[in-house]
Structure 1
């Protein structure tokens, strides 16, 4: 297959696609592309815009109504590779052995035990900083011990559905991960128990172990199920990867790769972490299973941005235990390059072991696939830009309008309104723009087919709960091009919608990380949506978050920073980059113009510290802070 050339896609669209697929995977449990394809998108963005906020954002899977739990230590993502070279390049950065284990395609969770060894808290990964409390639910998973003979400790691992259990659900659920993700969040914990989920432990925080392999041994003695693991040298990486790949079908769980961890915990500490992943662990992902089937047809799907995307409809084919019936073709250019025709025999692959992708044509079909010249949703003319097909009448396109409504309810945190329900409301003329959601009555909802009294009450409550909305969320909910989460939180520092609406392009362009492109789109978008904004403001109380300053409209922007000594949480280059992303400056040396000298907690500060202490003693404004204090400033 010819892969999508992400170098040709505008950066803003690439960022939006990455955010969308993050949400589909973590929030909606309905991924549409493979891990492999997603990682290609991320790598393309990293090369073209390495400071993009999207690269560091972690999407939360927490329901807006759920109780949140803050993790003592972030539950970060894993860095990934897809070949021996990537894994060996990683292994060249440290000394010592490696622990290898299968990468389970499940749901990462944290379990906390008190000083008496009693389980008192369970939480999902969430956005890595905060998770959703699932304490009562995990107590109904038999492989999670309720009491251990250790004391105060945190155990992390993966909740999953065994394939032998999933066999009874295959006709109604596409894969075991999605089912497990929903099962652990059941309001009635007993229902969680009915799904017969299992748990594998892979980390233990609070023990005195010095090596990763010792953690695995200790977890097993404490009564936890532990994944199969091997202690290896770097020259064994390729062989161990092949070993787990060859045994993939023998396990009673979905696995989509092999996880390699640095064995020596002191070496892990030296390597540290980035804002996204720990440097001491990497996931070597499987490329995926393949199979052949017949292409029945190509459907055309319209997004809220007006892009019309081809979707392949195929005869059901089983890949990695899941039946595949459709797959995105990404854009018209890809479809043309594949040479697709109806009835063609095609090769499907679950790249990364999860998401179906149409790879190639094995045998041509007889019927040509026509590219539409009119929008499949509103029958308006279409336009082709590069390889992408666009609807030309956004104001009257049903799919696009429903997409905008769906974007709004997600950004505003209104639970219960899926695309199908919004489409029904739109067709009934009840909700044609987001402001009309706040004019819905229970009677309006009860007029819909299959709408009961209880559900109608719940939906109205969810709408009412969103009437107080944070300014950043309000701005993001408008669906203005380039006004994503990052830009919205920066603009929220102005304190009110009216102040932001009065900003000129020039004023916005001068804001660090905004620039002329975002400024132009934001000013234009606010002008175009002026009437909608006025209508929404008549229903909503927009609030500025009291704690939003340090993270985005940073309270230390324009200040001069310098780092000295060994940092334990991240490298000094990483810390400097974080400061610049937030609007601060990196000084070239210690002087009276320096505002903050950050001293790494690992020691070895040297002459910079001595010079800074002298300047500070002379009454200048220079402040000497610890690494811990710095982390609090940027968190």
Structure 2
């Protein structure tokens, strides 16, 4: 199924058992969004009541180009204006902007095909997103067709989405931590323009990587005024042969991030790579195309970045970049625990700080003294320990247990490889003292925000042996995980299922023989063929 990628604001609409719209929320960061129920009621294409209940509809709020034409002189693009209109406190003002809505997904109803969802949405009174169908061989032609139609459409689109039609195949393909494997978006080539490169500045990220950004003469791309453009890394600066005052081509890839693509005409002074860290003045090290601060533990920008990451991940609001810089520079906050040591009197001497705001900030921090385990792990900012890995680890016990895990034990956990294991173990050890200080102020609740096992295999342990015919071993393990189960590294008495594929030479594998031996001793391991496993999934 092929559809345009709408450049709007994604929202979810929930209808209660009576078919009444009782909640509308933006997607936000994917986990926490903003409620916009009253505003959604003011969008003509969103039904207040539907003929069926207990379901969720997802779609995109956007502003048609024909409507945006009235505001073009005052606002950069339709998406920004639509987002602002949706956040109006007075819903009557939202109505004035004449927003539109395309529905593209339906949850709470069993269907076999994506196209059935589209028809069901239409039957319920929604305007489904325009779509077409094609096979694998027709994808390029469909992409070109949509690209050719792009300018004639009455809405902004920055690409095309291809989605597998059969729902059972969608389930089999599954999802990563970031996106579904059964859908892929291809973006159109961005709008480009030639402008002057005035300078290149270097900043230091939380990871310690030193990143170049091109400062360019203002140029309008895709309705937005651009004054900065990404240069990716030090190696790219060298490859482009950049000079100040050069004429360069800048493109907004996918209509979003501006990048300097190539030099049209050389300027005068060559752009040199820094030989010292632009933040702390310390030495740099180079790994292939990337420059890194060689002493991140003493680098101001790295440490402020870590503090910003921590306070953001635990959900504490009010700590913007300028405030964090002041807290760090005054010595008030140098490690995570320092946030919880703050008192109102500490904050009052800071710029633009009144007593009311100071009290509010302290109260915000103190309200976050209980932190779910997965959130705590992610907030530490350890390389490779992002939300996905933190969620997996949170299923395996307490913080104390996780801190004692070895690299070998971590690599035995499904989907955690050697590189991730080494980074996690080294990171937890390197920041052990800081973690101990933090634990004096906060309580970590075991697994509270981990993805609690759900689905037909919730809490079950499933192991595979032999060659599978319907999917790769990794795909099967991912399927088990999505259905709430776990894939241990070996056979034990508490194993629930052993799925036996094609065994080499027709002989039983070691895992197979061990499971049978344990069953002879009273274990209850169910030994299944691949076909039995596939049949069992909807029934367990």
Offset at residue 194 of structure 1 (A): 6.3
In the other structure, the counterpart of 1:474 is 376
Q: Does 1:249 align with 2:151?
A: yes
User: Which among 487, 493, 497 is matched to residue 583 of structure 1?
Assistant: 487
User: Which among 306, 312, 317 is matched to residue 404 of structure 1?
Assistant: 306
Q: Which moved more, 1:112-121 or 1:177-186?
A: 177-186
**Contact in 2 for aligned 1:579/1:585 (Cα 8 Å):** no
> Residues 106-145 of structure 1 correspond to what in structure 2 (within 5 A)?
106-114=8-16, 116-125=18-27, 133-145=35-47
Q: Does 1:274 align with 2:173?
A: yes
Deviations along 1:552-590, one digit per CA (max 9) or x if unpaired, are: 9x9555x535899999xx999733444489533699xxx
In the other structure, the counterpart of 1:423 is 325
Gaps of 5+ in 2: 501-514
Gaps of 5+ in 1: 1-98, 600-611
Q: Does 1:483 align with 2:385?
A: yes
In the other structure, the counterpart of 2:524 is 621
Deviations along 1:43-97, one digit per CA (max 9) or x if unpaired, are: xxxxxxxxxxxxxxxxxxxxxxxxxxxxxxxxxxxxxxxxxxxxxxxxxxxxxxx
**Contact in 1 for aligned 2:211/2:234 (Cα 8 Å):** yes
Offset at residue 112 of structure 1 (A): 3.3
- Structure number with the bigger relative contact order (C-alpha 8 A, sep ≥ 6) is 1
| Secondary structure in structure 2 of the residue aligned to 1:368 | coil
Equivalents in 1 of 2:120, 2:415: separation in Å? 47
Give the length in aligned residue pairs. 512
Offset at residue 535 of structure 1 (A): 2.0
| Secondary structure in structure 1 of the residue aligned to 2:340 | helix
Offset at residue 330 of structure 1 (A): 1.3
**Contact in 2 for aligned 1:562/1:586 (Cα 8 Å):** no
User: TM-score scaled to structure 2, two decimals?
Assistant: 0.78
- Quickly say closer, same or farther: Cα 1:632–1:309, change in 2 above 3 A: farther
**Contact in 2 for aligned 1:315/1:325 (Cα 8 Å):** yes
| Secondary structure in structure 2 of the residue aligned to 1:341 | coil
In the other structure, the counterpart of 2:295 is 393
Q: Which moved more, 1:617-626 or 1:394-403?
A: 617-626
Q: Does 1:325 align with 2:257?
A: no
Equivalents in 2 of 1:537, 1:475: separation in Å? 12
- Quickly say closer, same or farther: Cα 1:333–1:182, change in 2 above 3 A: same
Equivalents in 2 of 1:270, 1:320: separation in Å? 37
| Secondary structure in structure 1 of the residue aligned to 2:307 | helix
Offset at residue 470 of structure 1 (A): 1.9
Equivalents in 2 of 1:149, 1:459: separation in Å? 46
Offset at residue 343 of structure 1 (A): 1.1
- Quickly say closer, same or farther: Cα 1:116–1:300, change in 2 above 3 A: same
Offset at residue 279 of structure 1 (A): 6.7
**Contact in 2 for aligned 1:402/1:422 (Cα 8 Å):** yes
- Quickly say closer, same or farther: Cα 1:464–1:514, change in 2 above 3 A: same
- Quickly say closer, same or farther: Cα 1:594–1:153, change in 2 above 3 A: closer
**Contact in 2 for aligned 1:255/1:353 (Cα 8 Å):** no
| Secondary structure in structure 2 of the residue aligned to 1:247 | helix
RMSD, aligned CA:
4.5
In the other structure, the counterpart of 1:80 is none
Offset at residue 440 of structure 1 (A): 1.7
| Secondary structure in structure 1 of the residue aligned to 2:312 | helix
Deviations along 1:333-357, one digit per CA (max 9) or x if unpaired, are: 1111011111111111222232212
Offset at residue 417 of structure 1 (A): 1.9
Offset at residue 544 of structure 1 (A): 0.8
**Contact in 1 for aligned 2:16/2:55 (Cα 8 Å):** yes
| Secondary structure in structure 1 of the residue aligned to 2:173 | coil
- Quickly say closer, same or farther: Cα 1:630–1:185, change in 2 above 3 A: farther
User: Which among 239, 243, 246 is matched to residue 337 of structure 1?
Assistant: 239
| Secondary structure in structure 2 of the residue aligned to 1:340 | coil
Equivalents in 1 of 2:421, 2:467: separation in Å? 36
- Quickly say closer, same or farther: Cα 1:545–1:190, change in 2 above 3 A: farther
- Quickly say closer, same or farther: Cα 1:318–1:537, change in 2 above 3 A: same
